Amino acid sequence: MVSPLDEFPIHQAPLPAMWPASSDRNFYDRNYFNAHDRTGDLFLITGLGYYPNLGTKDAYLLLARDGKHTAVHLSDRCDDDRLNQHVGPYSVEVIEPLQRLRIRLEETEGVSADLTWTGSFPVLQEQPHVMRSGARVTLDAQRFAQVGTWEGHVVVDGERIEVTPDVWVGTRDRSWGIRPVGEAEPAGAPSDPPFDGMWWLYVPMRFEEFALVVILQEQPDGYRSLNDCHRVWPDGRVEQLGWPQVRIRYAPGTRTPTGATLTCITADGRTLEVEVASLLAAPLHVGAGYGGDPDWTHGQWKGEGFAERVTYDLADPAVQGRFMFGCVDHVGRAVLTEDGRTHEGWGLFEHFCIGRHDPTGFGDWFAVAP
């Protein structure tokens, strides 16, 4: 299966570029983007992924506003035209690698978009992320992240939303490797020890002078298995910010955060205090296809040329019941204090805490904040 990509010196294995070096069914290669103004009135989340060992590719666009999620889902057979990333009427064009991209959705059931991304700072290569269940690798991913601005428009049922870079910001990432995708596999023997929960925090923020990217993962007993905290400067310098101390504030009776306090330390011992507030919550497992979404799962075969539009009411008790069992993205506003000076930032505040997490005081899967 030789493809146009094989004309370029990019190979990492003695295989055509279209053949993943891993035969794991869960191999994936995809984009994630979000876009929002600075009001918290709306939140657009979108992405495109390839799953060559499942023979599928898919894309989605979700708009969260007015207590509802409006989602467009697209799916098709995987192809070898990777220089032209597209799924039906949805496409991602790389205008300038690592800097400018264009996302287009031709009108699909009343929804269309034409958005151009410009990176505000260089991309950050994140630390490798690996998870196991017993002997098996369940996640082995590489990712890079970037903060930036958007320009263009979105149209929903005739309403045109203008997107201008002076107010519209967001974050994106590219990731590839292995993670659970597609249809559920046979369970096999129960995990030993059983999966008891996971705590996750991902905060990429755009400030005028720099970007802050915090990625943390903890086990139920609070052991931190991933600690990745950096500041990115315009000239490409990447500054480590130590071992952040974190306090999440949850709405009473829920696991939905209203905000967080992060305390980071520079290499010379100075403290950065970051106060993050949630302006709008968008659960990724309600229309965006991430873990726990019963209606749309990345990599799932839906048939050739599949397209649908789905609307979710977040006030529906059945939808609300999902919130604490999946990942929730928030439009985030941050205030960073350093040496007595404050910086205002905007970006993604992503958090979930499922199952037990001793430092938070959640003793089981159903515990909530007092």
pLDDT in tens, 38-79: 999 999 999 999 999 999 999 999 999 999 999 999 999 999
Residue 189 lies in a domain: no
pTM for the full model? 0.96
Residue 99, pLDDT score:
97
Instruction: Please give the full DSSP string across 25-37, using - where no structure is assigned.
Output: TTEEEEEEEEEB-
Residue 365 lies in a domain: no
Distances from the Cα of 295 to the Cα of 221, 284, 301, angstroms = 32, 12, 12
- Backbone angles phi and psi of 7, in degrees to 5: -75, -15
Residue 177 lies in a domain: yes
Residue 251 lies in a domain: yes
Are 117 and 96 in contact by the 8 Å Cβ rule? The answer is: no
Q: What is the pLDDT of residues 309-347, one digit of tens each?
A: 999 999 999 999 898 999 999 999 999 999 999 999 999
Mean local confidence (pLDDT), 340-367: 97
Which position has the token pair 């930036």? 148
Residue 187 lies in a domain: no
Instruction: Report the CATH number that the domain containing residue 70 is assigned in CATH.
Output: 2.40.370.10
The pLDDT-based confidence of 187 (bands split at 50, 70, 90) is: confident
Which position has the token pair 């005081």? 361
Q: What is the pLDDT of residues 240-280, one digit of tens each?
A: 999 999 999 999 999 999 999 999 999 999 999 999 999 99
Interatomic CA distance for residues 271 and 132, integer angstroms: 34
Distances from the Cα of 111 to the Cα of 70, 87, 116, 295, angstroms = 9, 15, 17, 19
Interatomic CA distance for residues 20 and 182, integer angstroms: 17
Residue 186, pLDDT score:
84
> Does position 136 have pLDDT exceeding 90, yes or no?
no
Are 348 and 206 in contact by the 8 Å Cβ rule? The answer is: no
The pLDDT-based confidence of 292 (bands split at 50, 70, 90) is: confident
Handedness of CA 216, 62, 330, 282 (dihedral sign): negative
Interatomic CA distance for residues 112 and 304, integer angstroms: 20
Residue 188, pLDDT score:
81
Residue 193, pLDDT score:
81
Residue 188 lies in a domain: no
Residue 60, pLDDT score:
98
Residue 281, pLDDT score:
97
Contacts of 101 (CB under 8 A, 6+ apart): 92, 93, 94, 95, 116, 117, 172
Q: Where are the alpha helices (DSSP H) in the chain?
A: 317-320
Determine what percent of the chain is predicted with pLDDT higher than 70.
100
**How many domains does the chain contain in total?**
1
Q: What is the largest CA-CA distance in the chain?
A: 59
Distances from the Cα of 193 to the Cα of 125, 175, 199, 226, 364, angstroms = 32, 28, 17, 20, 15
Structural domain boundaries enclosing 287: 4-9+16-181+196-355
Residue 135, pLDDT score:
84
Residue 45, pLDDT score:
98
Residue 68 lies in a domain: yes
**Element of type H or E holding 318:** helix 317-320
Mean local confidence (pLDDT), 13-40: 95
Nearest CA-CA partner of 347 in 30, 35, 32: 35
What is the tally of helices (H) and strands (E) in the chain? Answer: 1, 23
Which position has the token pair 């659970």? 180
Residue 364 lies in a domain: no
Interatomic CA distance for residues 178 and 267, integer angstroms: 33
Determine what percent of the chain is predicted with pLDDT higher than 90.
90
Residue 158, pLDDT score:
97
Contacts of 318 (CB under 8 A, 6+ apart): none
